[in-house]
């Protein structure tokens, strides 16, 4: 479907824009900008997506929603693997993450991969925030195009 391409391109431009500051701006600052854009998008998106669904019964249920429905909506596939230590840490494995899938297979461009994950970390955090879960989301890549997102739920 064509709008997917538009989303990909807008994302690419957002990444390029966030990093255009070059020397003046630190990598962290750029990443945090992207993360913020993702958060704002996720926060609004999930509200529209879950308008007609019932209440989720617990945190795990919400995570399953993220892995299945949300991922399918945004990335056209499900998360390949979900793990949790049952103490508030969830790890989502995507073996073929869409924003990385056209870049490389292996370690080429590995140093640029984090740039293409920041938006999604924010997106997940935003979705969860609007579903009542406060958390920190980080991402990790060792081999493109696979990556994993770690969600650490903040309690208290």
Partner 1 sequence: MSRQSMRANDPKKVSGELFTLTYGSLIAQLLKDYENVDDVNRQLERMGYNIGMRLIEDFLARANPGRCYDLRDTADKIQQAFKLYLGVSPSIGSWSPGGDEFSVVLETNPMAEFVELPDHCLGLRYSNILAGVIRGACEMVQLEVMAWFIADQLKGDNVTEIRVKFVKRLEDAIPAGED
Q: Which of residues 28-67 bind partner 1 (CB under 8 A)?
A: 33, 36-38, 40-41, 44-45, 48-54, 65
Q: Which is nearer to partner 1, 36 or 143 (CB)?
A: 36
Q: Which of residues 6-25 bind partner 1 (CB under 8 A)?
A: 6-7, 9-14, 16-17
Q: Whole-number minimum distance, CB 6 to partner 1, in Å?
A: 5
Q: Which is nearer to partner 1, 10 or 89 (CB)?
A: 10
Q: Whole-number minimum distance, CB 152 to partner 1, in Å?
A: 23
CA distances from 142 to 47, 80, 107, 110, 113 (A): 33, 16, 7, 7, 9
Q: Whole-number minimum distance, CB 142 to partner 1, in Å?
A: 27
Name the residues that contact partner 1, by CB under 8 A.
1-7, 9-14, 16-17, 33, 36-38, 40-41, 44-45, 48-54, 65, 69, 72-74
């Amino acid at each position: 479907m064509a709008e997917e391409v538009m989303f990909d391109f807008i994302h690419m431009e957002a990444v390029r824009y966030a990093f255009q500051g070059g020397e003046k701006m630190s990598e962290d600052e750029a990443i945090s900008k992207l993360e913020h854009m993702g958060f704002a998008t996720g926060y609004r998106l999930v509200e529209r997506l879950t308008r007609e669904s019932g209440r989720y019964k617990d945190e795990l249920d919400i995570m399953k929603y993220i892995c299945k429905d949300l991922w399918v909506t945004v990335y056209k596939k499900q998360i390949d693997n979900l793990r949790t230590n049952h103490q508030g840490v969830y790890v989502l494995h995507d073996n073929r993450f869409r924003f990385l899938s056209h870049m490389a297979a292996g370690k080429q461009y590995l140093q640029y991969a984090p740039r293409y994950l920041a938006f999604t970390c924010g997106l997940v955090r935003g979705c969860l925030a609007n579903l009542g879960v406060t958390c920190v989301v980080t991402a990790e890549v060792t081999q493109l195009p696979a990556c994993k997102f770690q969600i650490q739920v903040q309690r208290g």
